[in-house]
Structure 1
């Protein structure tokens, strides 16, 4: 058991267990929570894309800061400096966990909003000598009319225009039309206002001249010009400039809604209608006016038209004026959630980088032996496998506030992890003494050595960013897909468990696997498995297919992540350990996650299931192409060029190694693209 469990690392394992458990309790439910508080999918995609960009501030600032402060304290080589550096890392990591618990819990306080798209309300059009009126029905109790400042310009398509009598209660607008439109569409005719009363001779649709005469057809005039509606034209596009009254004046005091179905259209009143004005004018000719005045009721002469496709007409003035039932303030809800979520994402992202550095430091990996970073992560992954479905199941038992339990579970786990970090002063987080000598003594790594590996570091970051984009393309919106397949919150949590369960065993032996297979080959394998995962999701018809796809996440996330930790452990000088562990977090979980959310959002991922499947197929092809390019570049170009001949190690390094154990007498600097052919003991430290 001595080889399996290191008692000095038990508390670190507990911290990782709490951290990953807390992440698992909240991460799969965030996309659903955004919709639950009233944000639409477009707003949720914006938050999913922007939050990772803001989150990179955490590791980007705290990583170099801790390295700088640690080197300053440890340069004396005394025990005080080493202890101080370990305490600094513990305290800052604990603060990150506490702030994560605080800000994610604040998301529960974001005010709720609700927006209902009602059935498309009816639209009426009337025009008299005083102006034109566009009347829009308020179709649900509590709905409010659209309002804007100034004039709103656009097109309104009308047909079946006719003269009539506008009574006081405006019920004439709701009566059936005496004329019907045809299927013929002609360009509108322009006349001057002076010719409004002129007779107009028309022809019928079958071309028989003189078969029908239309005298004084309706004229709709503005700015000295008139549009003439002809019965055979069927469709007239009016260029309107609408003015909306203040919102308080849009509706009458009555709260009920008029039903304008065909059966009771004649009995409807216009109490609950939104009224918009336009400068159009309609003059009624004398002969028509005489006919109207014979009616028994008082009225004013007017022209009414049947409105055609008010919400679908190209450049329509009412294209975005559909009535909606709005509860709360959608704008305030979006921006408050946006700000809190962006700040909240900073802290677990920074905590992930700091805990990665803690694993590297605490396992005491040296040139002569193998650490057990993977085993620390394996223990933490157990929590990631257990608690997400439990959090989802608990949420289902509270239908009134389903996301309260997952958010509180996240806060509890984060606070427990922070408490362990603050209490346990014996956690081995101060680097070994020979690390300080390497950073500040005779074996200090020169800046030229850092620059020499800068291109390799950038290349690895680019690969991790691409892998992160593929990961985010699935996980950012997967909960939406699960719910569209009649899923439950427990099933949403189970998607994380499906990927974490096989990862426990893989991470336990991860370091030996990485050393045997090689870093680059594992990255290539990840691209191939992303292709398989996307292909499975593209043709999934049930939740079972999603679980099968998630089981493959051990190859695309878990092994990729431990490979990145081990990669940067040797690629970056020891005095930049925390910065070195922050780089893969920034590349994969910030930049890559942002790109994946943007790509998924632009093409509609997470919307209709058929659209999501098209995206899955496209990204699966991209993953396979990336695997092929990476394989060709690495094995045909980079690996042969980067092979470094064995050379005698520097005398100073031999003395340092002899102080810790026997040396094998050879030395070759680690080259990233040739690490498979090197063995332990051949790192540049």
Structure 2
């Protein structure tokens, strides 16, 4: 975003808005896949392609292709450039004919600020004084002798302390009048029938007025002058009394006027020149921002939807075994290999091509998305049959009743909220980590290496993730993730060089990799198999959409003047929040939920035991196959949630 000329404020806004809209992808396509899969049949365990599997492959491939197209379109966003604003000097002058606001011309383009119609606001002035103006405004442009009042003051009473006559009795009112001399005929400014008086004790006088932009010359330049003159829209004047005029000039050709020093012309609340700083702008910043925002929103929809559908494909294809374990973690481990290899290569390419730093990364993204889509379209032997058929018993009875949505709805909502909170903590780091590395004088290649540092330890962890999660327990994995988020945020808050950032990034194996596979497994068991795609869309929406949006908002609440110090304060705060949530979660789960919701021991069915006892070791040459009960009906099937 910054490479196309957007500022950090605009980048923060896009980082918050894009994931919020991107949830439409998984939220729509997940239920759509489940609905359209009904009645499309399955392989029935055979080798023929499944109709529902073909549907899942085609829609996932379409998401990958659309992701490649829209992210490539980001390369076509027009470039803009904005140099830091310069604040030219502003003067105010008023005579018997009109009032004028003079602004030093912008040296960037030698043009005056122009607008249509009248521009209303206030102008804060001080140090008003009488003088003689000329056509060249020489007197107006002269420096003020002092920033305080420069008007001539006359005491109401002469000091009689040195008089030879005896002093008269002095009253309290006389002492006040001696202590507070007043100005004879102070400057008056009249605008639209209302007059304001500038008194010497006033540090600031707010003058309401409306300005008219100067006429546009044929060449649209001000090369003949270094100042832009804006006239007031309404009738205005400043009368100079003869006695005050005699004090400032004895020339009969004097053009009496009043000039004032302008205070904070660009920072004054409701200031008439609040947005009139000098800027050198290349391109159209507004057009660039809106173009990037729209394309980015459309771009983020498809990879989030594709992630949900690929998760669905992994869950279906790995065919959860009777032990409650498949190979989902190993599928995710292969994807993590790409995350470990390509970010530093993309950073290296960006450094070698400073004019188009993100050309190679975006092209690589498009190429890999197209390759993935082609594999999905042409490999018709993927085991992606209707999600529910392989979960039936031999007699066709569902192992998990269809009222599961009602039975586990509260638990599903609770896990959704936990994953969203974990996504918030993840986005608080990930959304702006490249800026943190840049503030620590890191290179683009080092930014990519931070992703490699987090991905390398995740590969073996994901390879044995299902056994690891089943041993630790799903909720304990979440508690551990909150704890490590507290450690990561604390480490980043006190990082002084790039090395500490890498060390903190290694901990991502506990805060993202294991969390994600745990969420996939948890929702796999909570949601009925008929709604597998919807169930896998839920963690994507929670973590990478809602959590990412909230985290980008919180992480973006930093000062633009001192970004590194401000982001460290945000990191400290989020670190405390993560540790508090971990403690609360630990207490609620182990002291309240686990004892009440622990799965009771389930013995084998009585009729099976009776049949075994009545055989007396004889089977008359025949036997009945042992029935394999699904995890949901066995002790192991409750898992360690």
TM-score range, shorter chain: 0.7 to 0.9
Number of the residue aligned with 2:203: 235
Q: Which residue of the partner structure matches residue 238 of structure 2?
A: 282
For each residue in 1:205-251, what CA deviation from the matched residue of structure 2 results, as whole angstroms up to 9, or x when unmatched?
Answer: x9993997744332112344432234x426232232333427x7399
Q: Find out whether 1:116 has 2:83 as its counterpart.
A: yes
Within the candidate set 491, 496, 499, 1:536 is matched to: 491
Name which of 296, 307, 311 aligns with 2:266.
311
Match in the other structure for 1:182 = 148
SS in 1 for 2:442: coil
> 1:514, CA displacement in angstroms?
0.4
* Partners of 1:110 and 1:649 in 2: CA distance: 65
Q: Work out whether residues 645 and 668 of structure 1, in 8 Å CA contact, stay in contact via their aligned partners in 2.
A: no
> Is it true that 1:99 corresponds to 2:66 in the alignment?
yes
Confirm or deny that 1:596 pairs with 2:596.
no
Whether 2:466 is the aligned partner of 1:497: answer no
Gaps of 5+ in 1: 1-33, 189-197, 257-268, 655-659, 671-677
- Relative distance call for 1:529 and 1:484 in structure 2 (3 A) is same
181, 188, 191: which one aligns with 1:219:
188
1:281 Cα offset (Å): 2.3
Structure 2 partner of 1:30: none
* TM-score (structure 2 length as normaliser): 0.86
Per-residue CA distance 1:522-581 (angstroms, 9 max, x = gap): 000000000000000110111111111111011000110011111111111111111111
Deviation at 1:427, TM superposition (A): 2.1
User: In 2 relative to 1, CA 545–207 (structure 1 residues): closer, same or farther, beyond 3 Å?
Assistant: farther
Partner of 1:70: 37
2:127 is equivalent to residue 171 of structure 1? no
Distance of 1:432 and 1:226 partners within structure 2: 81
**CA shift digits 1:451-507 (9 cap, x unpaired):** 111111000000000000000011111111111111211111111111111101111
Partner of 1:632: 587
- The SS at the match of 1:414 is helix
Instruction: Go from structure 1 to structure 2 and tell me whether the alpha carbon gap of 1:35 and 1:491 turns closer, same or farther (over 3 Å shift).
Output: same
Q: Structure 2 regions of 5+ residues with no counterpart?
A: 160-174, 610-623
For residue 206 of structure 2, give the secondary structure of its aligned residue in structure 1. Answer: strand
8 A contact 1:49–1:594 mirrored in 2: yes
> Are residue 568 (structure 1) and residue 548 (structure 2) matched?
no
Equivalent residue for 2:23, pick from 23, 48, 56: 56
Structure 1 segment 128-143 matched on structure 2, within 5 A: 128-142=95-109
RMSD between superposed Cα atoms in Å? 3.6
Q: TM-score, normalised by structure 1?
A: 0.81
| Partner SS state of residue 209, structure 1 | helix
1: CA distance, partners of 2:25 / 2:532: 16
Paired residues for 1:571-590 under 5 Å: 571-590=526-545
Correspondence for 2:425: 470
After superposition, residues 83-482 of structure 1 pair within 5 angstroms as: 83-142=50-109, 145-148=112-115, 151-177=118-144, 179-182=145-148, 201=156, 209=178, 214-230=183-199, 232-233=200-201, 235-245=203-213, 249=216, 253-254=220-221, 270-273=225-228, 275=230, 277=232, 279=234, 280-289=236-245, 295=251, 300-368=255-323, 370-431=325-386, 434-435=389-390, 437=392, 441-443=396-398, 446-482=401-437
Tell me which residue corresponds to 2:617: none
* Matching residue of 2:164: none
* Conservation of the 8 A alpha-carbon contact between 2:111 and 2:220: no
Determine the C-alpha separation between the residues in 2 that align with 1:76 and 1:372: 20
**How many positions carry a matched residue from both structures?**
610
Q: Which moved more, 1:622-631 or 1:80-89?
A: 80-89
Distance 1:642 1:444, change over 3 A: closer
Q: Match of 1:513?
A: 468
Structure 1 residues 409 and 145 mapped into 2: Cα distance closer, same or farther (>3 Å)?
farther
Deviations 1:23-43 (A, max 9, x none): xxxxxxxxxxx1221222221
